[in-house]
Amino acid sequence: MSTLLEQYERHAVILGKEPGNLNWRQFGEVYDDERLPRAVRENLAKAREHPHLRAANGPFRQMVDGSICLVDQTAITGTTETPIFPVSQYTGWAPNQLRAGQKWQMTLYGVGTTPASGQGNITVTPRFGLSSSGIALGSSAATALVASATNLSWMLTQFLTIRTVGAAGLNSNAIGYGAFSAAAGLVTPGFVWGSSANVAIDLSVAGGLYIGFTLGSASDSFKALDVILESLN
């Protein structure tokens, strides 16, 4: 049985067809599904009633069902790569769910704390997978943290594009790009990272958009307060 997201994606494609080819009655259960945000249902209703306005109505971005984070995440410490949030809970995908040409944007933010001295660096590593054994989509340089920070804000944005979908195994390709910014009292300056070429991934198994932090001191502490994952098309 199709998930709500899969049904929505299928009908988002249908919206792009000529009005004469649409069978709105057949797909009414999706447009009326109360699990979709109200604004999305209203836009879909407008598109159904006025198909010639579909480009103006959108919607153009869609929050993934279940990706909204309503509680502070557990703070991470230590000097080994650690996920800043549980991937399978907020940014996971089912086997064979992703398609070629699909673009995703993750936004997350939180706070960081460092000791009065010996604070070390921070390295950010995004991966396609569910753990630190996933496939890297690039990695940032180790960037110096600032001493004596107490719950100062940071924000991270990660993009992912599925370029090709192939047979089971590492036969699909993706690229990614990300950026990190923070209060001047925590990290100076901000930094970026990205894929330098296609990255081979396996879309036939469960995966996710993983973000790993590596901290330079056992006294450093970072915590995510919100995790947002959106499909851009």
pLDDT tens per residue across span 143-200: 999 999 999 999 999 999 999 999 999 999 999 999 999 999 999 889 999 999 999 9
**The total number of residues written for the chain in this structure:** 233
Task: Centre a 10 Å sphere on the Cβ of residue 111 and count the other Cβ atoms it contains.
Answer: 20
What domain range includes position 29? 4-60
- List helix spans (H) across the chain: 4-14, 28-31, 38-49, 54-57, 87-90
pLDDT of residue 95: 96
Q: Within this chain, do residues 46 and 117 fall inside the same structural domain, yes or no?
A: no
**pLDDT band at residue 42, thresholds of 50, 70 and 90?**
confident
pLDDT of residue 28: 55
Cα separation, 211 vs 130, in Å, equals 9
Type and span of the H or E element at 82: strand 82-83
The whole-number average pLDDT for the span 72-87 is 95
Nearest to 201 by CA among 224, 184, 176: 176
Q: Within this chain, do residues 34 and 109 fall inside the same structural domain, yes or no?
A: no
pLDDT of residue 72: 95
Query: Is the distance from CB of 193 to CB of 55 less than 8 angstroms?
Result: no
Q: Decide if pLDDT at 58 tops 80.
A: no
Cα separation, 54 vs 25, in Å, equals 17
Kindly report the pTM of this predicted structure.
0.74
Assess if residue 76 is contained within a domain. no
Cα separation, 161 vs 198, in Å, equals 10
pLDDT of residue 212: 98
Assess if residue 149 is contained within a domain. yes
Query: Angle at the Cα of 172 (from 91 to 129), degrees rounded to 5?
Result: 30
Mean pLDDT lowest among 56-60, 119-123, 178-182, 211-215: 56-60
What is the domain count for the chain? 2
Query: Is the distance from CB of 128 to CB of 201 less than 8 angstroms?
Result: yes
Contacts of residue 42, defined as CB under 8 A and 6 or more positions apart, other chains included, come to: none
Q: Within this chain, do residues 89 and 187 fall inside the same structural domain, yes or no?
A: yes
